[in-house]
Structure 1
Amino acid sequence: MEPAAELTRDEVARYSRHLIIPDVGMTGQRRLKNAKVLVMGAGGLGSPTLLYLAAAGVGTIGIVDFDVVDTSNLQRQIIHGVHDVGRLKTESARDRIREINPFVDVRLHNQRLEPGDAVELFAQYDLILDGTDNFSTRYLVNDAAILAGKPYVWGSIFRFEGQVSVFWEGAPDGRGINYRDLYPQAPPPGLVPSCSEGGVLGILCASIGSIMGTEAIKLICGIGEPLLGRLMVYDALDMTYRTVRIRKDPAGEPVTGLIDYDAFCGVVTDEAAAAAAGSTLTPEEVDAALHSAEPPALVDVREPVEFEINRIDGAQLIPKDDIVSGRALGDLPHDRPIVLYCKTGIRSAEALAALKKAGFADATHMQGGIVAWAARVDPAMPVY
């Protein structure tokens, strides 16, 4: 990063603890001042990263997010507060950054990242940080960064574990590597649960987000050895850090354009989509069926810890994996129709495909899961 003009008197006072580090100094701080960094998401990983990049003196920070602050975010998304619930995350994050460092130029991109404008957006920045939580966006960020010629820092979290790496296809000295070298193909739909389904220890975001911010500062200032070609894995329960070498995939195809990433990654398997076609009920239809003269058997396919949080009265708990593996097929009723539900409708669709294949022709599942049930049938139900 080329250094910016000289620091002002106020900036010298603010960044004095950086300026007395020989590897940073005045030149490094001027590089930070001149840097333009785009952060994907103002959520769990974006929150600490944004706070520390702003405090460090990154001159321009862009934020891409289309979501609003929800109460469930506050357990880990520390850039937001109670008074921000219902606000756009970008606006909430901007206001917090301004409280930390008024010298930062914050640019808001209140949008979902789409293939149509991703490369053009990335071209406006020097460095990208990706803390998104779904595979379709991760592949899109990777490919757009390659086409825009930008390095990016990637982070991921789940339950008690986090991962961080640096990807830069155009890195000097033939060290170029990208996300597809680590994951040539997206995992099968439903195999890797999202944080909203599997959970995440809130404080883990601080550990991984701070590492992402550290890597960004190293890249901007040109100091240290970045995680380029290395995957850092952190296990909070064991309190261990380890790094794994990532090598260029010799069979990898060059990225020449952007694709339909939802189709590439999939939300549910083809089998689940086919099973759900014509066998999907709305929450209202399920409610009516449960109050009819011949109610169906209601099966909750979530995990036991989720069943403890909330449930629909009369539901039987049989986790999806027990249905898909066939272990629980003998526990299902055969004398009446079965209605499956999960949190959002994805896992129940996968379980439905297994039931159809096993001969439960009249089985159905509930659209939108228990989240939709709480919103449309039982507003007093706690949600998570």
Structure 2
Amino acid sequence: MPLTLAEKARYARQIILEEFGERAQSALKSRSALVVGSGGLGCPVIMYLAAAGIGKLGIIDGDIVASDNLHRQVIFKEADIGRLKVDAAKECVKALNSFVEVETYPERFSKENALALAGQYDLIVDGTDNLASKYLINDACVISSKPFIYGAVYKFEGHVSVFNGKLKDGTLGPTYRCLFPSPPTAGLPNCAEIGVLGGVPGAIGMLQAVEAIKVLADVGDPLVGRLLIFDMLSARLRLVNIKRRPEVCDIEKLGTYDNAPRCAGVREISSAELSRWMAKGADFEIVDVREPSEVAQYSIGGIHVPLNELERATEKIPDNKPVVFVCQSGVRSAYAISMLKEKAQNGDYYNLKGGLNEYRAFIEKG
């Protein structure tokens, strides 16, 4: 879609980028994205996509602005408290860039509207904070053949990836279910339950916006088949490769998507207690659910079963002794325990609180 003189002037700093140019800017103008959720992740996504010059932006969220949103949902003001988030977000976008077409939906992204909405946009960006919505977005994108720009935050850690996108050879990359095949009955806590530092979802949302721009404008190397993990407390970045699993990618219809009870029955063990178990030679096992590249960087031993292989390798998990599940921050290991409990494997399971990040810091402090 040709750019006007006003648009060329407005986006001049992007257009002069050799890797971007007028071609990519024109492509972005002709494309659209649906942002599901206008919270901590959705706010920076909305503003950076609008500022970059996307043609059409859809925003779906049935929530209203509350005072405890303002420390991280930075497009809202005190005067917006009590307003529909989508109304305040649209107002902010139009004030920033009147060239952008904005469509708002003051409702939840649900099984009833997911496919109809997915069909109207070129991709979907995940701004949600619950597992049910992430699985619904994934499945709607798979059925509709649309890329899914994934983002998630847990305390000081954030994840970003591009699911259901195209690899360099033109084949389809992995989906969200290739990483997490099925949701556990017991979900994971959201920011309302465990807290969040305002800048963390801001940084992750910004990265999601960049990935969306790369996909829409066909520039660079999007995070297809790779999961970016950003631990902001220690300022460490890691990339984990994800393989496509055909047995979980064949989705023909939407399923059931319920937000289950949060982390029900997942016991935790502190780094101090685990260290004591090790020192006294207690009879227990460690199961590390991280990817091989992460284990190669730092490990405390035990059995290595990557999370995306756990469903097919349950026989490796001992049932005659306590088992401590570990990952980098404690998120994936909690998910692993929930998954096993859902399959009626009621072993003596513990989740390492804070993951290996916290354990390593504890050991190094002596």
> Normalising by structure 1, what TM-score?
0.66
Match of 1:267 in 2: 261
Say whether the 8 Å CA contact 2:143–2:251 is kept in structure 1.
Answer: yes
Matches within 5 A, 1:272-351: none
Correspondence for 2:183 among 186, 202, 213: 186
Matches within 5 A, 1:72-111: 72-111=68-107
Residue identity matched to 2:58: G
Query: Post-superposition shift, 1:249?
Result: 2.6
Query: Post-superposition shift, 1:170?
Result: 6.5
Percent of aligned positions with the same letter in both sequences? 42
Correspondence for 2:173 among 169, 173, 176: 176
Distance 2:110 2:172 in 1: 28
Distance 2:74 2:241 in 1: 32
Matches within 5 A, 1:219-230: 219-230=215-226
Query: Post-superposition shift, 1:98?
Result: 0.9
Correspondence for 2:140 among 138, 144, 150: 144
Say whether the 8 Å CA contact 2:138–2:175 is kept in structure 1.
Answer: yes
3-state SS, counterpart of residue 211 of structure 1: helix
Match of 2:243 in 1: 247
Say whether the 8 Å CA contact 1:153–1:164 is kept in structure 2.
Answer: yes
Runs of 5+ consecutive residues of structure 2 not aligned to the other structure: 266-366
Match of 1:41 in 2: 37
Residue identity matched to 1:34: S
Correspondence for 1:214 among 210, 232, 249: 210
Distance 1:149 1:253 in 2: 12
Correspondence for 1:235 among 215, 231, 237: 231
Structure 2 vs 1, CA of residues 9 and 200 (structure 1 numbering), >3 Å: closer, same or farther?
same
3-state SS, counterpart of residue 243 of structure 2: coil
Say whether the 8 Å CA contact 1:159–1:199 is kept in structure 2.
Answer: yes
Query: Post-superposition shift, 1:117?
Result: 2.1
Q: Which has the larger radius of gyration?
A: 1
Match of 2:65 in 1: 69
Match of 1:166 in 2: 162
Residues 35-55 of structure 1, C-alpha deviation per residue, up to 9 Å, x if partnerless? 111111110001011111100
Distance 1:68 1:235 in 2: 30
> Normalising by structure 2, what TM-score?
0.69
1:155 and 2:147 correspond: no
Residue identity matched to 1:107: E
Query: Post-superposition shift, 1:194?
Result: 1.1
3-state SS, counterpart of residue 170 of structure 2: helix
The Cα RMSD (Å) is 1.9
Say whether the 8 Å CA contact 1:146–1:169 is kept in structure 2.
Answer: no
Distance 1:13 1:169 in 2: 31
Distance 1:270 1:7 in 2: 53
Residues 341-362 of structure 1, C-alpha deviation per residue, up to 9 Å, x if partnerless? xxxxxxxxxxxxxxxxxxxxxx
3-state SS, counterpart of residue 17 of structure 2: coil
Match of 1:54 in 2: 50
Query: Post-superposition shift, 1:236?
Result: 0.7
Moved over 4 A (4+): 169-172, 268-271
Runs of 5+ consecutive residues of structure 1 not aligned to the other structure: 272-384
Distance 1:52 1:29 in 2: 14
